[in-house]
Amino acid sequence: GAVVSQHPSRVICKSGTSVKIECRSLDFQATTMFWYRQFPKKSLMLMATSNEGSKATYEQGVEKDKFLINHASLTLSTLTVTSAHPEDSSFYICSAPRLGAKETQYFGPGTRLLVL
């Protein structure tokens, strides 16, 4: 099956620093990738849609200047949490639909961010 990886799997950082999270589709190309946030005991909340070669589309209430998304190639999207604060601590998950198989999404294993 298709594989999506995320790196790092876990990161701890100081308040005020920036953290970059990578999402890669390992064996297929994805012109679109999605970034979700999951709080403890909560559902996944869509943050933004990452589009290869163009600007990301953010959901209402998500600060685009705080959560920078870059989709540099057909297999890589990055989410940078800028000037992180403790309230940004969460589990971030990316997903990618395989080209030609729009209904099937492949999820990364997630990145747990802890901001001290």
Question: CB of 76: closest distance to another protein in angstroms?
Answer: 18
Which amino acid is residue 44, in one-letter code?
L
Which one of 12, 104, 114, 116 is in contact with another protein (CB under 8 A)? 104
| Binding flag, residue 93, another protein (CB under 8 A) | yes
* Main-chain dihedrals φ then ψ at residue 33, nearest 5 degrees: -135, 155
Which CA distances in Å does 55 have to 45, 49, 116? 20, 9, 30
- Identify which of 85, 86, 71, 81 has the alpha carbon closest to the alpha carbon of residue 30: 71
Asked if 34 and 49 touch (Cβ cutoff 8 Å), the reply is yes
Question: CB of 46: closest distance to another protein in angstroms?
Answer: 5
Question: CB of 49: closest distance to another protein in angstroms?
Answer: 6
| Binding flag, residue 46, another protein (CB under 8 A) | yes
Q: List contacts with another protein (CB under 8 A).
A: 4, 32, 34, 36, 41-46, 49, 93, 95, 97, 102-105, 107-110
